[in-house]
Structure 1
Amino acid sequence: MADVTVAIDVDVPCRAAYDQWTRFEEFPDFMPNLLRLERPDDTHIRWVINLYGEPMTFDDVITQQVPGDRIAWRTADGDTGHTALVTFRPIGESACRITFSLTTYPEGAAEQFGDQPGVEKGRAMGVLRSFKKHMEATWTPPA
């Protein structure tokens, strides 16, 4: 099992960051190794990722969603996989601290390799850095 919590400050308002984060179909724009993301309904997400050169599909269930504040999800089967929480906290009028917490329960050999100390944390921080770069490059304040 791995517990990871990482945070990053993004120079956009929290609501803008939250709104972008919940546009799941756009995750491949900033999430490395994500091949495709499908959203069959408001509470389910199907991820297709590249895990060490092999495609892997898994389903998640959104367990909590507070607009502008937080979103949480877990693996749909509930027993193995992962749980995640992303929170958005204002730091000034036009900046936001995004905190990403992830707990993984690896199953196979490839997942257990990814569960080694530092690997999952580095991956999570990479996602936040990519998100920050994407947001700061594409967001424009309303007129």
Structure 2
Amino acid sequence: MADVSLAVDVAVPARVAYDQWSRFEEFPEFMPTVLSFEHPDETHLSWTLLDSTGREQRMHAEITEQVPGERISWRSTDGGFAGIVTFRPTGARSCRVTLQHSTLPEGDRGQFGDEPGLEKELTRVNLESFKKHMESTWPPPE
């Protein structure tokens, strides 16, 4: 099983970070490996990503748990991967965002496995992009 777990400290309240993350359709605006995103209903997600080899991959998942302000968990609809993102306050105006994802034993390695070091780097780039986006847009102008 290929596992990636990384965290980034963001200078915004946890609820603000969670609220932005849960607007999945905005990922392509600030995450360089997310090319497109669709949210067909409340629990299903589909996106096109650049994988660790630079190829486009289409992925489909369902949200398995969503606790507002705290965490979102998902699992691919074909059983290939799973993940969770958590938002933990580190102060009144700061939080730690931790992103974990795994290729499940029955899954196609695709996005999450042939190059675990590259996958970790892509995750780091996306988290750093999220941090930069959040800190440059919060607080919103009055």
TM-score (normalizing by structure 2): 0.88
Residue correspondences, number: 139
Summarize deviations over 1:58-98 as a string: whole Å, max 9, x none: 211000000000000011122x2x11100000011100001
Aligned-partner Cα distance in 2 for 1:121–1:112 = 11
Aligned to 1:87: 86
Q: What letter matches 1:33 in structure 2?
A: T
Percent identity over paired residues = 53
Report the more deviating stretch, 123-132 or 48-57.
48-57
Aligned to 1:24: 24
Aligned to 1:4: 4
1:118 shift after superposition? 1.7
- Contact conserved, 1:45 with 1:61, CA < 8 A, in 2? yes
The change in CA–CA distance for 1:8 and 1:31 in structure 2 (over 3 A counts) is same
- Paired residue secondary structure (1:68): coil
Q: What letter matches 1:61 in structure 2?
A: E
Q: CA RMSD in A?
A: 2.0
1:128 shift after superposition? 0.6
Summarize deviations over 1:85-129 as a string: whole Å, max 9, x none: 000000111000011111024626xx2795334222111111110
Q: What letter matches 2:98 in structure 1?
A: T
Aligned-partner Cα distance in 2 for 1:129–1:115 = 23
Aligned-partner Cα distance in 2 for 1:53–1:122 = 13
Q: What letter matches 1:86 in structure 2?
A: V
1:141 shift after superposition? 5.7
- Paired residue secondary structure (2:40): strand
Report the more deviating stretch, 66-75 or 28-37.
28-37
- Counterparts of 1:104-115 in structure 2, within 5 Å, are 104-105=103-104, 107=108, 111=110, 114-115=113-114
1:54 shift after superposition? 3.7
Aligned to 2:46: 46
Aligned-partner Cα distance in 2 for 1:50–1:85 = 19
Aligned-partner Cα distance in 2 for 1:140–1:48 = 30
1:50 shift after superposition? 3.0
Gaps of 5+ in 1: none
Aligned-partner Cα distance in 2 for 1:39–1:122 = 26
Aligned to 1:63: 64
- Contact conserved, 2:4 with 2:120, CA < 8 A, in 1? yes
Gaps of 5+ in 2: none
